[in-house]
Amino acid sequence: MLCYKRREDIERVLKIVKGEGKKVGFLPTMGALHDGHVSLLRQSKRAGEITVCSIFVNPTQFNQQEDFVKYPITTASDLLILSQNDCDIVFLPEVSEIYPNGTTTKTLNLGKITTILEGAHRLGHFDGVAQVVGILLDIISPHHLYMGQKDFQQVMVVQKLIEVKPYKTRLVICPTQREKDGLAMSSRNVRLTPENRIHALSLSKVLFYIKENYRNLSNEKLVELSYELLSKTPEIKIEYLNIVSKYSLEPIETGNQSEPAIALLAAWVGNVRLIDNILL
Ligand code: PAF
């Protein structure tokens, strides 16, 4: 496994790789890798691509400095996981390599998708995500970009970025990986106390409940009952729980159950903020 810290070095190698006619798959990460990331890596490897993984905790996408400072850094074990799973190239840049002119968050004006739901609760978050993914796509220019459904809105923002720029890269969305008990895999899970790890299970349970009852109850009723269920776990503070169109993330009128929908939520469990979603 090759590992580069400098932009010009990885660009040089990828030019050779592409010159040999090989396809490149890319998974951008902030490290603290888990089986969700490994599933993205495997999908790229199965497609026979030279697979590149970046590990970069992007300062411009954190709307709370505390969240940035506490973001888990586990580089040694990340590199082990990547090499054990046949990752070909790792990109591990310093902040100054990605942002030589400073870490001011820049907006790319990708529209409403960046300001609703997650965007409304984490102001500027998606500007930072689009900014860094744009820079990484400029560097790697992959044929395929692999991202997880767990960050569904992020995936939509990146799809918009690809269309607007436009990049030639094709986005591949991979299913959310869950622990055996249903908890969605997330780098943030390691920060949960053992008690809150148990409380956090209510989040996936409520999403499974919504999916089970989606055809029988109105969206309003389902959301109301979901809040009621979650209130039994007072350690959970919900930021939002919405049933919306899968295409626009806008509310769906009751009675229009034929429109492909998704239930999305964000909640604090103790001092850890988790998100999850389920396609309906
Ligand atoms: O999902 C993440 O880990 C990050 O938001 C990403 C896409 C790597 C950009 O920093």
Class at the top of the CATH hierarchy for domain 2-174:
alpha beta
Non-local (6+) Cβ contacts of 169 within 8 A are 26, 137, 141, 142, 143, 144, 145, 162
pLDDT of residue 163: 97
Express each pLDDT in 166-198 by its tens digit.
999 999 999 999 999 999 999 999 999 999 999
Atom number of ligand 1 nearest to Cα 28 = 8
pLDDT of residue 209: 98
Hey, how many other C-beta atoms are within 10 angstroms of the C-beta on 2? 13
Reply yes or no on whether the pLDDT at 143 is more than 90: yes
The residue whose two tokens read 């809150």 is 196
Hey, how many other C-beta atoms are within 10 angstroms of the C-beta on 181? 11
E-strand ranges in 61-104 read 89-91
pLDDT of residue 195: 97
Task: Tell me how far apart the alpha carbons of residues 280 and 163 are, in angstroms, rounded to a whole number.
Answer: 26
C-alpha separations of 15 from 23, 45, 102, 139, 214 in Å: 11, 19, 27, 10, 49
User: How many helices (H) does the chain have, and how many strands (E)?
Assistant: 11, 9
Query: Please, are residues 130 and 114 in contact by the beta-carbon 8 Å criterion?
Result: yes
Task: Tell me how far apart the alpha carbons of residues 242 and 266 are, in angstroms, rounded to a whole number.
Answer: 10
pLDDT of residue 63: 86
Reply yes or no on whether the pLDDT at 68 is more than 80: yes
Express each pLDDT in 48-61 by its tens digit.
999 999 999 999 99
pLDDT bucket at 255, cuts 50 / 70 / 90 = low
Dig out the tokens for 31 from the structure: 């490290």
Give CATH superfamily name and number for 187-275: Pantoate-beta-alanine ligase, C-terminal domain (3.30.1300.10)
Q: Ligand 1: which residue has its CA nearest to atom 2?
A: 29
Reply yes or no on whether the pLDDT at 34 is more than 70: yes
- Pocket of ligand 1 contains residue 131 by CB under 6 Å: no
Helix (H, G, I), strand (E, B) or coil at 117: coil
In the chain, the amino acid numbered 220 is: E
Ligand 1: residue of 53, 63, 67, 132 to mutate (most ligand atoms within 8 A of CB) is 132
Hey, how many other C-beta atoms are within 10 angstroms of the C-beta on 68? 14
Dig out the tokens for 240 from the structure: 């939002």
Burial of 121 (0-12, 13-18, 19+ CB in 10 A): middle
Among 191-195, 226-230, 239-243, 255-259, which stretch is predicted with the lowest mean pLDDT? 255-259
pLDDT of residue 84: 98
Task: Tell me how far apart the alpha carbons of residues 162 and 248 are, in angstroms, rounded to a whole number.
Answer: 16
pLDDT of residue 60: 97
Question: What is the chain's Cα-based Rg?
Answer: 19
Query: Please, are residues 213 and 247 in contact by the beta-carbon 8 Å criterion?
Result: no
- Going from the Cα of 55 to the center of ligand 1, the distance in angstroms, rounded, reads 9
pLDDT bucket at 206, cuts 50 / 70 / 90 = very high
Task: Tell me how far apart the alpha carbons of residues 168 and 156 are, in angstroms, rounded to a whole number.
Answer: 16
- Going from the Cα of 155 to the center of ligand 1, the distance in angstroms, rounded, reads 10
Which residue, 244, 241, 250, is CA-closest to 274? Answer: 241
Helix (H, G, I), strand (E, B) or coil at 171: strand
- Going from the Cα of 29 to the center of ligand 1, the distance in angstroms, rounded, reads 5
Reply yes or no on whether the pLDDT at 254 is more than 70: no
Q: What integer is the mean pLDDT of 108-117?
A: 95
Non-local (6+) Cβ contacts of 111 within 8 A are 160
Q: What percent of the chain shows pLDDT beyond 90?
A: 92
Q: Domain-by-domain residue ranges, the chain?
A: 2-174, 187-275
- Pocket of ligand 1 contains residue 129 by CB under 6 Å: yes
Express each pLDDT in 262-280 by its tens digit.
999 999 999 999 999 999 9
pLDDT of residue 259: 82
Q: What integer is the mean pLDDT of 25-36?
A: 97
The residue whose two tokens read 């998704």 is 262
- Going from the Cα of 178 to the center of ligand 1, the distance in angstroms, rounded, reads 18
Active site residue 34: no
